[in-house]
A and B are shown apart, each in its own frame.
Chain A
């Protein structure tokens, strides 16, 4: 009888393993971690990647330098017409809310420092500009076009990713919850 019991136990374990094996093919479980591809909107909740690139003065700068602030990251290029048309609103937002802890960070995608500096001078920009010649931020933020904007909270987490041109009201609505202490 004990010998039969051992046999049944082995058969039962074998069946359980087979069931366990079959189950492993239906949903790997756990789910992926971090942000996923498919446009900037999918990045909400993911940590904002930061890369060292040049500033307009030729020094080194990155998004990381603004940790502790609410940051509106704006990816742009001087040849991009919608970027050009939304820039005055970005400058106005920065002027209004800078004192409340907001940083507008413009990151030029793929152009030379000279091109970015000429654009900043032409548009009379006072917010910080980074020059990302290798387009690292654009790739990391799943940009599907320009402009692309991201709202990053003081802990360095992406709250929203937005594809396309924004109005001043839309920018304000995107950053206001963080500036007023919400999430």
Chain B
């Protein structure tokens, strides 16, 4: 059913036409599409051509209306709304720029006590040292350090806007592993395949199908005893589903202990629940299970552009509708008419 501006809509009193309503609706839809990037920034769809095309169509429609309205095609209200349309265009342009030029969403996970460069953010992320207590509590806070700018702290679940990116800290499964020999002496743990060679904290970067589930997995070594150890993380639900004997419904690690040549040591497979020790292949292992943050970095529309666009859009709407109803603004045509009449008289 076509839109009828005379059908009783509240906009009728303001002089709105079908074109006005259509343009405002398109502008609002474009703005909502752009603001969605701030609400769910990690969604990959923002970097697709379809998203950019949708915003492009909105921009052409809004821009076309604004140009026509400037010429007076949509009456006095249309002329007043060009400010709002300009604001909408700024916001939509920011959204297109973020979708087309912004980097794809990236997850940065590093061992406690290490530093990761974030070139897209222009910062370095300092992942704090975490002992068993901090891993169990899952409360480690990552610092972002930038030159000539204050340091930013991001707690798990938190986010910070930095330039045209948003950096979120998300909790990932982690385990602090303590290894001892048969006499109880502490053993060095190394992670030869991970960038953080000397970290006793497992971050489970791999996903391995096991026991009818896909489990987070990691590996480490105890060079003093010539042991290589694989660790598989069973969450409460995974251990319940796998009906692990004695561990069902509890968080636990499944260890598999190999020798230097990668051959499984007899009796080298076993579960250890959170905080519980287990003796496998000559190594006493005790995991503390919990979480450690990873950073998810996503492109977002440049915030200053959004603020300026929003100010123009909202201010323009006020100028258009409220100003039009008050009628306190000078009208272009009578002024020009009077001037030309006066000119001819003179």
Contacts and interface: CB of A to CB of B under 8 A. Distances in A.
Interface string A9-27: 0110110011011101111
A139 B86 contact: no
B113 interface: yes
A140 B94 contact: no
Contacts of A7: 70, 82
Contacts of A35: 115, 124
B111 interface: yes
A20 B101 CA distance: 13
B304 A79 contact: no
A32 interface: yes
Interface string B332-345: 10000000000000
B305 A112 contact: no
Contact of A21 (B116, B187, B301): B301
A115 interface: yes
Interface residues of B, number: 62
Contacts of B120: 28
B267 to A, nearest CB: 23
Interface stretch (B145-153, B233-241, B256-264): B145-153
Given A51-B129, A136-B113, A20 B304 contact: yes
A28 B118 CA distance: 10
Interface stretch (B15-23, B194-202, B205-213): B194-202
A33 interface: yes
A71 interface: no
A165 interface: no
Contacts of A31: 122, 147
B25 interface: no
A31 B149 CA distance: 11
A135 B199 contact: yes
A111 B309 CA distance: 59
B102 interface: yes
A111 B145 contact: no
Contacts of B326: none
Contacts of B86: 10-11, 14
Contact of A135 (B116, B189, B224): B189
A20 B200 CA distance: 45
A134 B304 contact: no
Contacts of B308: 13, 17
A30 B114 CA distance: 21
A21 B186 contact: no
Interface string A140-151: 101111100000
Given A37-B195, A139-B129, 18 more contacts: A17-B305, A20-B304, A20-B305, A21-B164, A22-B97, A24-B163, A24-B164, A26-B101, A29-B122, A30-B122, A34-B115, A37-B115, A37-B117, A77-B224, A79-B223, A134-B131, A134-B200, A138-B197
28 contacts: A3-B332, A7-B70, A14-B312, A17-B90, A17-B304, A17-B309, A18-B305, A20-B304, A28-B120, A28-B162, A28-B165, A31-B147, A32-B122, A32-B124, A32-B146, A33-B146, A34-B115, A34-B145, A37-B115, A37-B116, A79-B188, A109-B188, A111-B187, A115-B185, A134-B200, A138-B198, A139-B129, A140-B113
